[in-house]
Chains A and B, each alone.
Chain A
Amino acid sequence: MTLHPRDNMGPALVVLMLLGAGCVASWLLATPAIFSSHEPHYGVERMLLYYSTLPRLATALIAGAALALSGALFQQVLRNPLADPTTLGVSAGANLALVVASLFLPDLLGAGRDIVALFGSAIAAAIVVGLGARRGFSPYSLVLSGLVLSLWCGGLSAILTYLNERYLASLFIWGAGSLAQQSWVIPLSLSWKLAAVAIICSLVIRPLSLLDLGDSSSSALGVRIARLRVVVIACAVMLAAFVTSAVGVIGFIGLVAPTLARLAGARRPVQLIFWSPLIGAGLLFLADSVLQLVAGGLGDFLPTGAVTAIFGSPLLLALLPRLKVRHRIQQMPVGRRLRRWNGTAVLLAVTCAFVLLLAIAVLLGRGADGSWTLLSGDLWRDILAIRAPKIFAALASGAMLAVAGSILQRLTGNEMASPEVLGISAGSTFGVAIALFAVAPGFSGQFAFAVIGAVSVLAVILLTSRRSGFAPERVLLAGIALSAMVDAVVGVLSSTGDPRAALLMRWMSGSTYLVDGSMAAAEMIIACILIAAALTARRWLDILPLGPAPAAAVGLSLARSRLALFGLAGLMTAAATLTVGPLSFVGLMGPHLAREAGLTRALPQTIGAALIGGSLMVAADFIGRTLVSPYQIPAGLVSALIGAPFLMLMMRRKA
């Protein structure tokens, strides 16, 4: 393996520049301590330098290197330029494990926070990579399953946090990744772990670089591909888990560093794996020292991990055009094994179930003493006036999400596509965050900002994907990048411990609580109009999944019809997110259940999905309202809790 000096000039220069700038910033940080150290009686400045500033800088270097190496390994072995510990859900898994442990097994946490987080990351990685393996490691489906898993872990963590909000305040910080140190314990333990993994990497680097030749050629050269993959992925997961368990989630370094290396001219796997950790180390080192300088000036607490994610996630967006995905509109795989059920009969059964659920939700509730009560007595009008808007808002949102989901799934030919992934809901969440923290927190203000957020995300998605002719993969992955960015911003806001963060949390968790009569009516009207629009587009929805050729043959403009349908899905998602939050999986479950029930053509599938989605959301709202009464679990979170196992089951079966 020879390295041409020419090819390595670029990456070397980047490393030098990052380290140089980082050194300047950290020198500015450290000088007060170094020059004021002549106070003989009390060496606190000196102690701070030795045991806080320096270990923190060392941690930044080591964690940056480890994450970048992890990202480079993931990208190499999965041949996916978007893979990194953040996009594969490894860190979200660790976070969930910590939440669960701190609630149910606090002693376990006392014994070893690191082990708990490691356990969570390993499970998350096993799920995502396991599912990816069944799908031939397609770059698209891998990152998508990573994201869905992140959403799921985030949803579960949020339910648990929601029910115990005050006690779990510390986990906001954990999730947002802080590098603050009080000793050398973390950098030292991280460094030997990094060294151990680096040694393993150096042993597999030669066969790993042969993987670029393709599976058949590299096996012809004697590479045991399966075993190699397992080893490399295990290394990458370990690196990510060690860092997450030590300092929390540091977003996107594993994506940024290899990208920089590649842009600087590192082309071959050896170069990439050699230079990425160095660049990652320089990157986090620089980011953290600049952040400390800035935060010191603001006198505010800013978690490094969330801040790197704010700056790192736009890169995911910028990288999309480089991702070589073939124009891969396929036929629905499920469509071929049609059940011999009568569509009308199925729709009738679904409608009956829907009406029954609605009746239960309206009539049944729990009283002050916790007993189950039927809607009756002198207060029934007042109670109905409180209950009905929530139920109907849930119904409208569920139906819209499910229809949006069926549009997306038909357009992309991917059964995992769902409105949550589009990033529209993330956009409106972002709007609400701005309304809460920067402007007046009144409800109408929040509402307006949510709409603005949703619409601007939609615009960004459409603009960035216009060049690719609205290739479905690009649109969905652009949504992921935006979701990640919003998550990061919300993470920063939450970790400041501001009580307003609790309001934001509540909104994100998808509570129908603030819905009143007029809002429910508005939701119902919007839902009727948009769903009717979707039903009139049924011809497009039937033709587009067949591929570009049949569409052109019947004179359908691909770009224009896709724009219209994505716009419709986006509007529905925005309207629904306003009441049930960004986390529900209804947009995924509704269309699936409809198709599983045998409704395959666009019209019956859309109607069925709307009914099923509406029922699911009404059921979720009912469970959330009554299960832990007088306390309430947000409907969005309940449906996420129901949706996640469903999704896992589906992903296993469809592989």
Chain B
Amino acid sequence: MAAMLAPAPSFAQQGPLRIVSLDYGLASTLLSLGITPVGISDGADWDKWVVEPAMPKSVVDIGSSYEVNFEILLELKPDIILTTPYLDDMLPKLQSVAKVLRLEIFTPDSGPVLSSAIAATRKLAAELGRETEGEEFLARSDAFFDDCHRRLVGRQVPPVALVSFMDARHARIYSAPGLFDNALQRIGVRNAWTQQSNYWGFETIGIEELSRIADPDARLIAFEPVPPDVMPKLADSPLWRELPFAKPGHLSILPPALMFGMVNEAMRFAGLVTDLLEQQA
């Protein structure tokens, strides 16, 4: 009955919807709403960058998200294509294949990414007529973040800096208003890198700039993949050895987590970080 009172979802119809997603975050959100997409872009690299939730092997890979293979997309006969402002170049061509649902998560003026991602999840759920599943999923995620927060409360939780090493001299560091920074705040962990970054939430730095982090207790968390020559080169650097992160236990390497993601990716990140800090504290 509730469904009848709510505004009618634009894409509600008979039978299961055939949905194609051109964004990892949207694809994983679909899975959480109880929908398996028929096709996703960059499917070959899912296990390398997103990892969980696992994508069923039956989902067809439709090529790179920048260059969707339209011949295969047509063959899939989708009802709805999920896209982001990044792929606006393709919008007219996508619209000629199926209804397009365009969701904004990373835009110059949308503010903190996690809030945008939650708003986009609600919008997606509403458009697909899955409000109940959407709210359940968001409640699950809230509970998950609260649980992470609870696990860390009362412990001596150090501030953490989050990086991906690019080579032995450069890294990307993650900060506000990015997804990882938002997730850190949500679970009550301070980001040791306080400077604002671009609206995707990262900044490219020379490794020596890590010395701007003055807190001697700060931890450094690097995400896979780490290029093979980074660790030996760093060990040779007196500057690195002087940084708080060179102390035993202050540097950890975690499995990959996707920074350009949505709620699921924030949860995976929060879970990985909480597990790590819980072990260490």
Contacts and interface: CB of A to CB of B under 8 A. Distances in A.
Interface of A: 42-44, 47-48, 50-52, 102, 106-107, 109-110, 113, 166-167, 169-170, 173-174, 178, 180-185, 299, 301, 365-368, 379, 382-383, 386-387, 441-443, 495-499, 502-503, 506, 511, 513-514, 516, 629-632
A496 B214 CA distance: 25
B63 A631 contact: yes
B49 interface: yes
B110 interface: no
A170 B170 contact: yes
Contacts of B67: 506, 511, 513, 631-632
Given A109-B227, A173-B166, A174-B167, A630 B72 contact: yes
B66 A502 contact: yes
B71 A386 contact: yes
A100 to B, nearest CB: 15
B205 A301 contact: yes
A41 B195 CA distance: 24
Interface stretch (B112-120, B134-142, B145-153, B237-245): B237-245
Secondary structure call for the B interface:
mixed
Q: Which 8 A-B pairs have the closest CB atoms?
A: A180-B206, A110-B228, A51-B239, A170-B166, A52-B208, A630-B63, A183-B237, A182-B237
Nearest to B203: A301
B207 A182 contact: yes
A24 B162 CA distance: 35
Contacts of A630: 60-63, 69, 72
Nearest to B196: A299
A180 B205 CA distance: 9
Contacts of A106: 227-228
Contact of A47 (B195, B216, B239): B239
Interface in B189-224: 195, 198, 200, 202-208, 211, 214, 216
A421 B66 CA distance: 29
Given A382-B74, A498-B198, A506-B66, A182 B240 contact: yes
A499 B205 contact: no
Given A106-B228, A167-B225, A180 B170 contact: yes
B63 A632 contact: yes
Contact of A51 (B62, B64, B227, B242): B242
A629 B69 contact: yes
Which of under 10, 10 to 19, 20 to 34, or 35 or more describes the interface residues of B? Answer: 35 or more
B247 interface: no
A502 B260 CA distance: 15
A65 B162 CA distance: 37
Nearest to A503: B66
Given A167-B225, A178-B170, A183-B239, A51 B71 contact: no
Contacts of A441: 88-89
Contacts of A495: 204
B172 interface: yes
Nearest to A174: B167
Interface in B47-82: 49, 60-64, 66-67, 69-72, 74-76
B229 A379 contact: no
A313 B22 CA distance: 40
A24 B264 CA distance: 51
Contacts of A184: 238
B11 interface: no
B238 A183 contact: yes
Contacts of A496: 204
Interface of B: 39, 44-45, 49, 60-64, 66-67, 69-72, 74-76, 86, 88-89, 93, 166-170, 172, 195, 198, 200, 202-208, 211, 214, 216, 225, 227-229, 232, 234, 236-240, 242-243
B92 to A, nearest CB: 8
Given A106-B228, A367-B72, A443-B89, A178 B214 contact: no
User: In this complex, which of B172, B207, B237 has the most chain A Cβ atoms within 10 angstroms of its Cβ?
Assistant: B237
Given A47-B239, A183-B238, A516-B93, A110 B232 contact: yes
B93 to A, nearest CB: 7
B205 A365 contact: no
16 contacts: A47-B242, A52-B208, A109-B228, A166-B45, A170-B227, A173-B166, A182-B239, A183-B237, A183-B240, A301-B170, A301-B206, A367-B71, A379-B75, A382-B74, A495-B204, A629-B63
Nearest to A302: B204
Contacts of B45: 166
A48 B210 CA distance: 10
Contacts of A299: 195
A630 B62 CA distance: 6
A107 B228 contact: yes
Nearest to A628: B63
B66 A180 contact: no
B208 A48 contact: yes
A75 B28 CA distance: 58
Contact of A499 (B69, B170, B200): B200
Contact of A170 (B76, B167, B238): B167
A44 B204 contact: no
B93 A301 contact: no
A367 B168 CA distance: 42
Nearest to B234: A182
A368 B49 contact: no
Given A51-B238, A629-B69, 18 more contacts: A48-B208, A52-B206, A109-B228, A110-B229, A170-B170, A180-B208, A182-B208, A182-B240, A183-B237, A184-B238, A386-B71, A443-B89, A496-B204, A506-B66, A630-B63, A630-B69, A631-B64, A632-B67
Contact of B75 (A183, A368, A498): A368
A173 B170 CA distance: 9
A167 B42 CA distance: 14
A482 B118 CA distance: 47
B208 A368 contact: no
Contacts of B62: 630
Given A48-B208, A499-B86, A629-B69, A379 B74 contact: yes
